A and B are shown apart, each in its own frame.
Chain A
Amino acid sequence: MTQSTSFLRAVQPAVRELKVTFFLLNRNLLQRISMVIILLLILIAIFAPVIAPYPGHAISDTNPKDKLLPPSSQYFFGTDELGRDLFSRILFGTRISLRTALLAVGLALLIGAPLGAIAGGLGGIADEIIMRLTDIFLSFPPLLLAIAISSFLGPSLENAILAIAISWWPWYTRIIRGQAVSIRERQFVRAARAIGTPLPKIIFSHILPNTLAPVIVQASMDIGGVILTIASLSFLGLGAQPPIPEWGLLISSSRTYFLNAWWYSTFPGIAIFITVMVFNLIGDGIREVLDPRTRKF
């Protein structure tokens, strides 16, 4: 038996689980639609430069002679105050929102997951210190903390991602720690300990992988929230900087013109609304499927 076949056999249950999850998600119409839309968003994000009629408008080009035109066959979503095609800008905005959301959640997981596993796996004083630290972070409203951090770091998209990750990681730490505490007492962990496996190896290769299911649920539900937070930070001028076509920034710029140019704030608003909603629906779906109490079979 080669290494790879043994690996395949090892992951077989996980693949099967994934298939079941997809099957279950697919049975619900709302979630099926959400999955299709998410797939569509991912495709838009990947192929934005090909689909967008004016890709230059999403980068640095301006076109002042066509400023603030209503939607037409030339500009599907109208133009902004510098004559840029809003359709192209919103398409490129999909890229930014998805990428920043994944990065922020990924970074938060990267900080939060190991800390949670250490806290739960070690217990004692390490647990106390890490958990009180999360309490400190959790005592601030997450948006407020993100605002404070990104205004301290200086306004840019990268700093906004960092700020969100810093204000978000304690949630993952708590979930994983809770899981780890119960797994620590399970037979296979005791067995590993009994044969003298070093503690770090127990924490990272026995405990941590077994805590991931609920964290994946939480993370998928958080993507919508993170997209909204990024948009909020950019709206306040603390995230993306012009001329990046970030949705929150587009809405922020449109405030000045919305009494005369309804299309300017409407379309980025719809984009945020749809994206956040489908991610929340899918997150709910995954939770239902993975939760044994609500699982139908």
Chain B
Amino acid sequence: MEKTMKLFIVLSLISIFIITGSAFAADTPTFAVYALNSEPLTNWDPAIEFSNGIHVHNNMYEQLLRYDSIEEKIIPMLAESYTVSEDGLTWTFNLRAGVKFQNGDDFTAEDVKFSVERTMQLAAGASYIWSAVESINVVDPLTVEFKLAYKNPLDLVAATGYAAFIYSSKCVNEDNTWIDETPGCGTGPYMLRSAKWGDEVILQKFDGYWGGWQENSIDIVVFKKVSETATRRQMIETGEAAITVELPYTDVEVLKNNPEVVVSVNPSLQNLIGMFNTQKAPLDNVKLRQALAYAFPYQAVIDTVIGGYGQQSYGMVPAGLWGWSDQLPRYEYDLEKAKALLEEAGAGSDLSLVLTYTAGNEAEKSTAELYKSELAKLGVNLDIRGMPWDSQWEMALGDPSQRQDILMMYWWPDLPSPYSFLYSTFHSEDEPLFNLAYYKNPEFDQLIDGGNEMTSSDIEAAKQMFIDAQKMLLDDAASIFMYDRQDIWVTYKTIQGFKFNPAYPTVVFFHELTVQN
């Protein structure tokens, strides 16, 4: 009797373990933490966000199309196909049938019209990408037609990583403002679960996603701000984070030998530039700007600061994007030439310049220090100021007499076109926004605007116009084009299927990933 009792207890215990164990296994969702160097999101509104939110929004919302900048081809998303009229002014998109918003509503042409019109109307963030659009017509529930005022590559515009998202009208207030943290506003594979402002955003799988789900896909994605590089490295080494970016190259060299993680080095469309203040003395003198461009230690910066993960830029358009050309002239590091030009410019020996960079960015800081040591050899003093981006930008937009002489910043594409690299940064602006070289050149404006209009009809001619425009920037030495950087991603070994797409910088499309234990 006692024996059977014991047996019964043991068996029941075992069965309990099996039942609950398997139940736990089935219930435990798969997590993936993406450890980011700064806040995951700066604005909930997909029409306005023009910053870090690119990581989050591209997993929650979708565009009509996406662009694969490695294969150089268009990927159909919410639009299955599109046609363009003979004159290039009417674009018709045929929408995908059976797509649902995360809140259960059907996706229709009305949503496209609503989203794009609202984005244009707000005129914030990257909404300028739609500036060619004159009107949007709903032909039938699955067909939408865009009428343009001038020729424009609307397929690339519709594929932009910012401001091209289609969202539900239910997430917008009567006064047209976004209702923050509403779940279910997009058609994308992940929907909002919870968030801590400035710190983390948690998304969960949308079961009704039109693209379907693979086995072992990721259920919950956590975008987390971890500003210390050492902490990010430890998180990826222990598997606490699935993916991380922006590790210093010294860590990358060590991680390459770690079997627990996978390091992938990929071309990015990011470049580092040092914009000269072309409107304020003393750098309103082109000879002086050229002298300063010759004094920049290009190779030393690439070797020391980014450990060789990059190359010296040819002009503003980075390697890997059409419109890039190695036929463009480059300023090489040459102190003799710099000295001769300095004399020619008639610069006094007491020349002192202010350079601003984004505080906390170690690569920018080291670059500035290397540049300072070269300029010191020429008797030029460089006053380096690390400031939070907001203060740096405020100074650059403020009182013209108090502005910096050189402003260092990274640039990456919104639209996968050279226009995105040349328009925001060097097109004449009455009130500066990102043209922080304050560069004004009507000929340049005409060339890039023309190039943009030609893009959809004659891409070769457009390419040549963009190259010619960059030649002007180089002749005028509007900026130092320092380097085109490579992106270094570190993923934990269990993460499979990771692909990168430089047209959407630092975006991880979590829908494509699986976890293999």
Contacts and interface: CB of A to CB of B under 8 A. Distances in A.
A86 to B, nearest CB: 14
B365 A61 contact: no
Contacts of A258: 230
B349 to A, nearest CB: 16
B233 interface: yes
B303 interface: yes
Contacts of B248: 256-257
A64 B384 contact: no
A241 B385 contact: yes
B385 A81 contact: no
Nearest to A260: B250
Contacts of A201: none
B100 to A, nearest CB: 45
Contacts of A261: 250
B251 A259 contact: yes
Interface stretch (B17-25, B124-132, B186-194, B366-374): B366-374
Nearest to B300: A64
B368 A255 contact: no
The secondary structure that dominates the B interface is helix
A82 B366 contact: yes
A43 B373 CA distance: 28
A255 B230 contact: yes
Contact of A242 (B228, B384, B387, B391): B384
A251 to B, nearest CB: 13
Contact of A64 (B228, B254, B304, B372): B304
Interface in B370-384: 370, 372-373, 376, 383-384
B376 A60 contact: yes
B365 A242 contact: yes
B362 interface: yes
A59 B384 CA distance: 13
Interface in A152-179: 154-156
Contact of A260 (B251, B365, B387): B251
Contacts of A256: 229-230, 248, 250, 362
Range, interface on chain A: 20 to 34
Interface in A69-96: 81-83
A60 B371 CA distance: 9
A154 B402 CA distance: 12
Contacts of A64: 300, 303-304, 370
Range, interface on chain B: 20 to 34
A259 B251 CA distance: 8
A163 to B, nearest CB: 15
Contacts of B362: 81, 253, 256
B360 interface: yes
B373 A155 contact: no
A249 to B, nearest CB: 10
A60 B251 contact: no
Interface in A252-276: 253, 255-261
B384 A62 contact: no
Max chain B CB contacts within 10 Å: which of A81, A151, A257?
A81
A81 B366 contact: yes
A125 to B, nearest CB: 40
Contact of B369 (A68, A155, A237, A243): A243
B386 A241 contact: yes
B7 interface: no
Given A237-B360, A255-B230, A258-B230, A68 B384 contact: no
Contacts of B360: 237
A206 interface: no
A258 B230 CA distance: 8
Nearest to A257: B250
Contacts of A243: 369, 372-373, 384
Contacts of A241: 383-386
Interface string B205-243: 000000000000000000000001110011000000000
Interface in A195-254: 237, 241-243, 253
Nearest to B385: A241
B340 interface: no
Contact of B304 (A61, A82, A155, A156): A82
Interface in B383-419: 383-388, 391
Contact of B373 (A62, A253, A257): A62
Nearest to B253: A260
Contact of A62 (B230, B365, B370, B383): B370
A176 to B, nearest CB: 37
Contacts of B230: 255-256, 258-259
Contacts of B373: 60-62, 243
A261 B391 CA distance: 32
Max chain A CB contacts within 10 Å: which of B365, B376, B385, B391?
B365
B365 to A, nearest CB: 6
B97 interface: no
Nearest to A84: B369
Interface in A28-83: 59-62, 64, 67-68, 81-83
Nearest to B233: A259
Nearest to B357: A242
A242 B370 contact: no
Contacts of A156: 385
Contacts of A237: 359-360, 386-388
Interface of A: 59-62, 64, 67-68, 81-83, 151, 154-156, 237, 241-243, 253, 255-261
24 contacts: A60-B372, A60-B373, A62-B370, A81-B250, A81-B304, A81-B366, A82-B304, A82-B366, A151-B391, A154-B391, A156-B385, A241-B383, A242-B369, A242-B386, A253-B362, A255-B228, A256-B229, A256-B250, A256-B362, A259-B230, A259-B234, A259-B251, A260-B251, A261-B250
Given A155-B386, A242-B369, A253-B365, 19 more contacts: A59-B376, A60-B372, A60-B373, A60-B376, A81-B250, A81-B362, A81-B366, A82-B369, A151-B391, A154-B391, A237-B360, A242-B368, A242-B384, A242-B386, A255-B228, A259-B230, A259-B234, A259-B251, A261-B250
The 3 A-B pairs at the shortest CB distance, nearest first, are namely A64-B304, A237-B359, A62-B373
